Structure 1
Amino acid sequence: MDTSSPTREIQCRSPWSLALARLRADRLAMISIGVIALMMVFALTAPLWAAWTGHTHHSTYPRTGLDESGLPAGPSGEFWLGADSIGRDVLVRAAYGARISLLVGLAATALATFFGVVTGVLSGFLGGWADAVLARGMDVVLSFPYLLVAIVIAVTFGASVPLTIVVIAFFMFAAMARVVRGQVMSIKEKEYIEAARSLGASTPRIMVVDVLPNLVAPVTVLASLLVPQAITFEATLSFLGAGVDPSTPSWGGMLNEAQEYYQTAWWYLLVPAGLLLATTFAFNILGDGVRDAFDPRTERLLNARRSQKPSKAAKATKTVKATKAAKG
């Protein structure tokens, strides 16, 4: 018996590599990543758009940006996507508005994720009075009329980007904490947690070493779904004048300014609305794709569909046999 042939090594794939492979196989998720990347490039290159057009985001050009009747000028060689009600470049302001929307969405989600994970882990793992206090605190935050409270805070302290990020993160972290709490309550009953306790591991070490790594998948999925909510929340607050500073370009503020011109200046409303819709839709599709990628049942469903779907060769063979049978 010839034993000189090399043996094939079987490599074990980690859950992250499997999830990444499933995500790559999801066409909609890949398209959504492309859209998000384009939006980020559009936001990062805002100064370049200002240089190419020769317009800044705060300068007004009443002579060329407004027509004879004082209405916003439409798309032209000077204003590629038209002008707004006071003669400012819509394209440049939309690019700077993309910076605000993406910054607020990502920063608020990061803050909400951090405090939500910390609160959820402490509540679910410690139990007892700590769980009772933290869980009731989550319920209180979730019961707030967040829009009214955000407006009151903005009126009291003044609208600004940092304040908007903090307000959005405050009202979002409770949703993250509640999901994390449920996951931790299930994880702490596992055998490896009991084994760690029997070996003398301390409670902080168990939470950091044994519990947190098992929360990466659900936290990643939920965080990807919270980003579009934060972007929409910021746009809503800016639309109502309670978000960022009105002098700072934002998609919500542009929508507020354009609501009186939707019949005479369609570009004024369409540009920020289209960008906001495309960004939030892409993040939602990506969140669904990430959720499916971390679900092992997704791969089984795909394999089942592939096994049920006949190959091209089988179809061709079946067609040839049917033709011969018809001729015979």
Structure 2
Amino acid sequence: MEFERLETLPISRSDFNKLDVFRKVSFESLAGYLLGCRTFVADPGTVLIDPDHLERNLIVVLDGSLEARSVNGKGLVYSTIEVGQCAGEMSVIDNVKPSARVVAKEKSRVLMIPADVAMAMLNASHDLCLNFLHILSSRVRNNSNMVVEEEFHIRCIEESSKVDSLTGLHNRRWLQEMYTREMHRSNAGNYPLAALMIDIDFFKDVNDTFGHLAGDQVLIAVAQVIADNMRPTDMPVRYGGEEFSIFLPEATIENARIVGERLRKGVESTPIHLDSGEEIKVTVSVGISERRKNDSVQDLIDRSDKALYHAKQNGRNRTCLNVEDNSLFLV
């Protein structure tokens, strides 16, 4: 660490006027306070502010750049402090230990202002106070933007974890949250709610005959038919394997029957062009049930699944309703 030997003030009027922290501040008004400050040249990696040491200083960058290293829940966060900017202002004002470690990013010349001198300067200069307010508000705004951006990325990650990467429909993780919420709403307001369970017929044969990539194309095609026939409020999910579930808010079993038949016929009439150049068609079986008083999500799904099983046992490519008295009715 190489100290500059200055007989008078540690910085010149020219240097003073270039610094953002002293913008519009009279050099003469603070010249006496600057006699209590010092400058030095710090080599790269030199620690200038250390949270483990109680010495508090306001550091202003004259040449070069510094790096502030702080810790949040994600690990280390780095920020650069350029010429004219400062570090350590929060600990000077709050009289607490620094929250970040500040090191020289490159060979840098800095002005070191002890905390008591910095506070005396603030008391002496209204313009310096305004500059500090501007610096602090900028820091707060940047930190707020970082928090918002981090929360946005977290939400994106959470949402992407609830989407089936193959079909683009939501997955079982999303189902647990959203189906439960919709079931509570429907039970509380006694609103109708219907559920469909859909299974691709003879899907194993597709995989065995054409390969798993063809099976993936079939899943994508069926999911697209489902998505194309949904209202914005409907809740289609890839339940697992070749099975899909759909919650239809405020839909009766008759409404659901119409939707189920539309989906079944839509899949049946949709040609699927495989990468091999072959064209195939598949069918689906559909089971439908309607919410009953005090149902849980699993209650409604189980009854729909029972209707689906009945449809598959009775020829496939069928829609079956599980009605109020637990009787199964093939459409």
TM range (shorter): under 0.3
Identify the structure with bigger relative contact order (alpha carbons < 8 Å, sequence gap 6+): 1
Between structures 1 and 2, the one with greater helix share = 1
**TM-score, scaled to structure 2:** 0.19
Between structures 1 and 2, the one with greater strand share = 2
Larger Rg: 2
**TM-score, scaled to structure 1:** 0.19
